[in-house]
Amino acid sequence: MLHHAITASGVTTIEYTGDGSYVAYTSHPADVNADSQSARSDILRIIDYINGVAVSPWGVYSEDIDRSGMLGPPDILRVIDLLNGAGVYDPWLNTLLPTNTTCPN
């Protein structure tokens, strides 16, 4: 369990002290298709997930954008909001995956 949420555009690294292995979790809003860029193509991909013609790379983590527990049309709207910076969101259109500079060597 993490002490706090991973911030948007943030990278959280968790290291297992037993053998030094680690995993990094990156928050890149609207990058639905896991191509390391938040772009218009993510809107088409979430529609493909809803229609069952594509399988998401991270399962529910790349599908349920509105965190309702279900995949559906509201997720499309949330991706559009994230890309455009609607409401309280920063705009993520054409942003690249954040660089992880904290992982152990």
**5 assigned to some structural domain:** no
Q: Comparing C-alpha atoms, which of 88, 77, 103 is closest to residue 8?
A: 88
Taking each continuous run of H as one helix and of E as one strand, the counts in the chain are: 3, 4
Average pLDDT over residues 49-73: 89
Q: Which two tokens stand for residue 105?
A: 């060597």
Return the beta strands (E) in the chain as ranges: 11-15, 22-26, 37-38, 95-96
**39 assigned to some structural domain:** yes
How does residue 92 score in pLDDT terms, banded at 50, 70 and 90? very high
List the domain range (segments joined by +) for residue 23.
Answer: 11-96
Domain CATH code at residue 89: 1.10.1330.10
How does residue 50 score in pLDDT terms, banded at 50, 70 and 90? very high
Q: What is the pLDDT of residue 101?
A: 63
Indicate whether 86 pLDDT > 90: yes
pTM, full prediction: 0.79
**86 assigned to some structural domain:** yes
**103 assigned to some structural domain:** no
